[in-house]
Amino acid sequence: MDFNTILKILNEEIDLKVESSENIEEKKAIEKKEPLRPKRCQHEGCKVKLMLADFACRCSGFYCSQHRFSEAHKCRFDYKGKGLDTLAKQMQAVIGVKVNKI
């Protein structure tokens, strides 16, 4: 085996790895597709068509401009709990060193 054949073999292996990584990226992009949006507002009794101005809620629903707020569509998402979790992660407990009395 000479040097040129070894280079050809290595180049073929690298090309195969690049193609396989591209296929993996394409599969991930397909899996990350946005969920299908409904055509109408998901609030009970509201039949407004959702076009450009639809609003996604954290409770995984899509609502019109009138029902986009959590109070309007009786949202079941726990905003308070989510806020407490994020604050607990962001805030660090700082404990100072006590000063000894003389």
Q: Are 28 and 39 members of one domain?
A: no
Distance between CA atoms of 58 and 11, rounded to whole angstroms? 48
Number of domains in the chain: 2
Q: Give the highest mean pLDDT range of 2-11, 15-24, 88-97.
A: 88-97
Contact 58, 65 (CB under 8 A): no
Residue 35: CB partners within 8 Å, gap ≥ 6?
60
Clarify whether residues 42 and 63 are in a common domain.
yes
Q: What is the pTM of this model?
A: 0.49
Q: Span 50-65, mean pLDDT?
A: 85
Is the residue at 101 inside a domain?
no
pLDDT at 8 over 90: no
Residue 7 domain flag? yes
Query: Over 80: is that where the pLDDT of 37 sits?
Result: no
Q: Are 41 and 48 in contact (CB under 8 A)?
A: yes
Residue 78 lies in a domain: yes
Q: Which domain holds residue 4?
A: 1-33
Q: Is residue 96 assigned to a domain?
A: no
In this structure, are 1 and 26 located in the same domain? Answer: yes
Residue type, 21: S
Does 98 fall in a domain?
A: no
